[in-house]
Structure 1
């Protein structure tokens, strides 16, 4: 992380009074331990966190088995064509590297014969039921749980600014679940800023690599929620914003009717 980016994030997103989360607490009737999950306002879409596939493709070896084999001294011979550093040392929250491509959930679901999001479930570790727990292939990087990666976060900020009540100058509040940093459950961790500066939150020295559990406009027109336990981020707001998310070619967003 660059020191200048961290300093910029700290300066432009100062701490806000915990009471500022009161509206969201009332709206969701929740304590926000994993994030405040907003209802549709009046519409909502889920931004599916990025999947990545190595150019070698999915393998018959699970990620866990691969990591054990590498630690046992297997090195680059464990899976020919894959360098262990590409799988085990890729930075959290970043694109894994030049030999990886973004794999859309819909493409993987079609390949496996699974629904993109199983009916009645949230997008999470139980998605893609054809991949049994503990057997996620080493050639696939599963979506991040509880946070977005940098490309998705940056694109979402751009779309929010394009549809915000005051564009890039839309005043916002950002909230982090206490589970992300061992904070006091009774003292919500909030910061205040504007959308023009929201991308630097990814490099904030205290919340590094954890995108906010919630980001919302002060005029209450939209709310973003990245639940600590989920592989997707819910965006609740005006229909025009939701339609823009669904149509955007850079991210993958879907409506999940049972979790609207």
Structure 2
């Protein structure tokens, strides 16, 4: 009730600016921008020596799980279990702590985001073993902010919006996040920034909004379906608040 459907035409200016929006409308700096990085977690006992791929093979070997087969053919024989997934995520629970991207970068020697790349599964290649990540690390998910980062980000946006929680906003969901093929009839909802918390548990989808923006276009964010981060475009003051915040982790694009 607090986020009724809005006309899909409200995305026309983003479509003209960014393309079809199938994975999300990625905004340019408006005039500044930052990447808000999705959270990853590490077990408090430290990095495990086993990778996700090795763990999967061990479970198949001891009969704990069955391989995915069709007509006797193992469909996973030529693939690698890398770890990670799609959609919403939150703190895994007791025994886990948040692993900052900057900490993993210092440990591996890899940059937080390599030049020429977007924040994605291609980051931190040195942390992988034969293409698979350590079992003791829960990597960021693609296509959605994690719950804790979403909550803090909404708080920062509220602090930097003139109307505060009464700021009128639009939330766009990519067809990929809705499991629909209606690529022309775009799914947009309208509501107040102060009510944005409930969007995270939208029963229509397992993702946070693909794009979320103020109606006055003072800021806009995009969580691309294929990425590990959300691009937030807006004023230099907003971007500075993001990169200096101690709860979320954000970096400026190169």
Quick one: distance in 2 between partners of 1:31 and 1:92?
23
Contact map agreement 2:242 2:248 (CA 8 A) in 1:
yes
- 2:41 alignment counterpart: 52
The superposition leaves residues 164-211 of structure 1 with CA deviations (integer Å, 9 ceiling, x where unpaired) of: 13111110000111111222111111111111010111111102x300
Within 5 A, what are the aligned runs for 1:38-117?
A: 38-70=27-59, 93-117=89-113
1:133-148 pair list within 5 angstroms: 134-148=131-145
Residue 2 (structure 2) aligns with: 12
**Aligned partners of 1:172 and 1:194 also within 8 Å:** yes
Distance 1:67 1:241, change over 3 A: same
Q: Note the aligned Cα RMSD (angstroms).
A: 1.9
Alignment match of 2:127 (pick from 126, 131, 152) = 131
Q: Secondary structure of 1:66's match?
A: helix
Report the equivalent of 2:250: 253
**Which ranges in structure 2 are unaligned for 5 or more consecutive residues?**
65-82
Partners of 1:62 and 1:134 within 8 A in 2 = no
Give 3-state SS (helix, strand or coil) of 1:130's partner.
helix
**Using the alignment, how far apart are the partners of 2:247 and 2:63 within structure 1?**
37
Please give the TM-score of this superposition, normalised by the length of structure 1.
0.85
Range moving further from structure 2, 193-202 or 66-75: 66-75
Contact 1:47 1:233 in 2 (8 A): yes
Q: State the Cα deviation string for residues 77-118 of structure 1 (Å, max 9, x = none).
A: xxxxxxxxxx99xx9511101211111101001100111110
Q: Determine the C-alpha separation between the residues in 1 that align with 2:132 and 2:119.
A: 18
Partners of 1:92 and 1:217 lie apart in 2 by 22
Conservation of the 8 A alpha-carbon contact between 2:52 and 2:134: yes
Q: Deviations over 1:142-175 (max 9, x none)?
A: 0111101100000000000010131111100001
Shift of 1:134: 3.5
Deviation at 1:14, TM superposition (A): 1.1
Quick one: distance in 1 between partners of 2:131 and 2:196?
A: 35
SS in 1 for 2:221: strand
How much has 1:27 moved relative to structure 2?
2.4
Q: Name the structure 2 match of 1:236.
A: 233
Which deviations, in whole Å up to 9, do the C-alpha atoms of 1:224-252 show, x marking residues without a partner?
00000100100000111000001100000
Deviation at 1:70, TM superposition (A): 4.0
Higher helix share: 1
2:155 matched residue in structure 1: 158
